[in-house]
Amino acid sequence: MRDLYKEVILELNKNPVCFKKNPDAQHIVEAYNPVCGDQYKIYFDMEGDTITNLSYHGYGCAISKASGSVLMKLIGSEKNINEAVELESTFQSVISGNKSGNTPEDFMAFTSVHRHPGRIKCVTLLWDEMISALKKLKKA
């Protein structure tokens, strides 16, 4: 389990990125993992199909909070829905143990999670809910 908690995970848990409430956001998505109790809200606005003002807040384990920070960092910089979906696909590959040549460095802290199946939901919780919400918005 030690290799799962790399320094970057601990740092992002201690100092999360875009970790703030935004009750005035256009979209608020709830993310809850009943197995371990991780519970967050994701806040964001949309300008066309571009994500803006992305943040999250709540509580959970170091892995879920760090993963949320990576989500905020990579998708919160005004990505559009298609770019966000593509990043999530790359993230899923990394956590399943299949790194590609174009893997963002921020994903590398999660490369060993596939060896800890009980932690996969912690890592994917915020990503799954964010991408699911974006796909619904795209269809609307």
Number of structural domains found in the chain: 1
Q: What pLDDT is recorded for position 3? A: 55
- Kindly give, in sequence order, each residue whose CB lies less than 8 Å from that of residue 116, ignoring residues fewer than 6 positions away: 1, 4
Whether pLDDT at 82 is above 90 = yes
Q: Where are the beta strands (DSSP E) in 2-118?
A: 27-32, 39-47, 50-59
Q: Please, which pLDDT band fits residue 31 given cuts at 50, 70 and 90?
A: very high
Q: What pLDDT is recorded for position 1? A: 47
Higher pLDDT, 121 or 97: 121
Whether pLDDT at 24 is above 90 = yes
Whether pLDDT at 64 is above 70 = yes
Helices vs strands, H then E, count in the chain: 4, 3
Burial 33-65 (b: 16+ CB within 10 A, else e): beeeebebbbbbebeeeebebbbbbbebbbbbb
CB 133, CB 29: distance < 8 Å: yes
- Tell me which amino acid residue 53 is: N
Q: What pLDDT is recorded for position 6? A: 76
Which CATH number fits the domain that encloses residue 50? 3.90.1010.10
Whether pLDDT at 99 is above 80 = no
Is residue 87 helix, strand or coil? helix
Domain that holds residue 80: 2-139
Per-residue pLDDT of 109-118, as tens digits, reads 888 888 888 8
Q: What pLDDT is recorded for position 43? A: 98
